[in-house]
Amino acid sequence: IKTYYGLEDVLINEMAEKKFPTPRKLNRAVAFEGDWKDIVRANYEFHTALAVLINVQNATIEDEKDLYDLASIVQWSDWFDVNTTFVVKGFVDSDIFRHSQYPNLVIKDAIVDHFKAIDNKRPSIDKDNADVVIDVHIAQKKVTLSINTSGSPLFHRGYRGRAGKAPINEVLASGMILLSGWDKKSPFVDPFCGSGTIPIEAGIMANGIAPNIYRKKFAFQKMLPLKGSSIEKDIREGLNYRPQRDLAPIVGSDSDPEMIRIAQSNLKNTSLARTVQFQIKDIKDVAPPAHGSGIMITNPPYGERLNDDDIEQLYSQLGSTMKHQFPGYDCWVISSDLEAFKYVGLHASPKIKLYNAKLECRFNHYKIFEGTK
């Protein structure tokens, strides 16, 4: 199961809570041995999973012919039929290949030749919306071939129609919430909510809703081992998608009215209308929805989105708001602008390294006590 850097242990904890087979920690992933029920559940139920892969071949190669031969060993027609579209994607860091995309073409040819040898038909390639994704990982001479049972990344939850600039995706948002240790019972605030991803993910989590219950398409739905099976139907029927009552407030705010309109539109694609609230507010006017302890998790603007003066003013105001308006709260802020954190004016601990796409970020924790200076 692929995940983001820094979220491997979070995913392992999720797996333990769901009583999954014991996982093995990898780099940006965890591995486990399971069955098709586990695969379907993993696609639906894990907040921090990016993709669920089935490993079908591992080997050491010396040249491109070895790669073709390795891909030819796999009985691809046991996994999907000739009418299924596919695409080959992956990671290549090898001196064997001059172009990083060339191994994908070699594997694609091997798959097409496999089907042509069976009934002289060839499956179609769909680079944008394939039914099945073949994942290749090449580190120098070591090759791993896998079938991606998710298809598109699992941060495509199915509820987000639009997004703002540099949004936090759903998997990273969930990872941040789980890293924060939020108890899912105390108030939750995001004062820079943008298109609403962080509050919506918090709402999904607080209600015990499977994060991908709103998603319609998975690659495993096109795979032959599940053809005629009721596994997915049975699992979906056992998942919760109904919101609970009397939960603590989950509030997202933003100074941009258009962002709030987008957030409310995304919220309508879920069952969380009574759980999550969005409002138009500038950071200086944000206050907690209730007295006592709670949590703030936010992704303020940074980098190219602001000039230096704006950054200093915004992060300084964020620090002031946290200090004066949120005593008793645990406040968490993610940013790739590490210099901007100094304008917050508060001591942060811990400072967790994460990535938003290719941007290296820090996820900083500020414990706000009464009388914090």
- CB contact set of 180 (below 8 Å; sequence gap of 6+): 295, 297, 330, 332, 365
pLDDT of res. 164 = 66
For the four alpha carbons of 280, 286, 287 and 293, in that order, the dihedral sign comes to positive
Residue pair 155/216 in contact by the 8 Å Cβ criterion: no
- The rounded distance, in Å, linking the Cα atoms of 54 and 31 is 10
pTM: 0.94
Cα-only R_g, the chain = 23
- The rounded distance, in Å, linking the Cα atoms of 365 and 312 is 19
pLDDT of res. 54 = 98
pLDDT in tens, the chain (373 residues): 999 999 999 999 999 999 998 899 999 999 999 999 999 999 999 999 999 999 999 999 999 999 999 999 999 999 999 999 999 999 999 999 988 899 999 999 999 999 999 989 999 999 989 999 999 999 999 999 999 999 999 999 999 887 766 679 999 999 999 999 999 999 999 999 999 999 999 999 999 999 999 999 999 999 999 999 999 999 999 997 777 888 999 999 999 999 999 999 999 999 999 999 999 999 999 999 987 899 999 999 876 555 667 899 999 999 999 999 999 999 999 999 999 999 999 999 999 999 998 899 999 999 998 755 4
